[in-house]
Structure 1
Amino acid sequence: VFAQDAEGTEISAGLHDALLDQHVWIWKAGCLENVTGHDEKGEDAILDQELAISAMDGVEIQTAMPAIVQCFGWLDGLRANSG
């Protein structure tokens, strides 16, 4: 919730950046639902989010949810550096 507050946004972003060194990703926006624009939680909500994302092309995802693209790029970097 604090990630939605102006001061909390700074805290969330700083924590996000600090945890990357520990190989931990947290959403600067607070939670995945804030990134995807969904309000609900639970298994049905997760399925709805997965279906919505799978129906989008790469450009749509980059435009609507750039944090998803950043997360996957970070994961790719971890994989590349672990081998």
Structure 2
Amino acid sequence: MSLIDTPQPLYFDKHKFKQNAPVYVQRLLGEELVNHIDGMEVNKEENTALYNLQCEFNGEQLELYPIYKSYCTDVKQGKLF
């Protein structure tokens, strides 16, 4: 057993995003992108309380930053479709 506490992974949660993100951020990302990244693992930024998410969407590589912990869950959820 390790004495170092490994952080629990976090996953983007579209429901928490819609509850916690400002409306202008929701409009900026758009519903199609938010649906696409729902359930994806986010990456912790060093020396900050912020996260980022890298993905491919419509043939483009995207890096979304900042992703706040309030937009995330520690429960991995499978997509239904």
Structure richer in helix, relative to its length = 1
TM class by smaller structure: under 0.3
Higher relative contact order (CA 8 A, sep 6+): 2
Structure richer in strand, relative to its length = 2
Q: Structure 2-normalised TM-score?
A: 0.24
Q: Structure 1-normalised TM-score?
A: 0.24
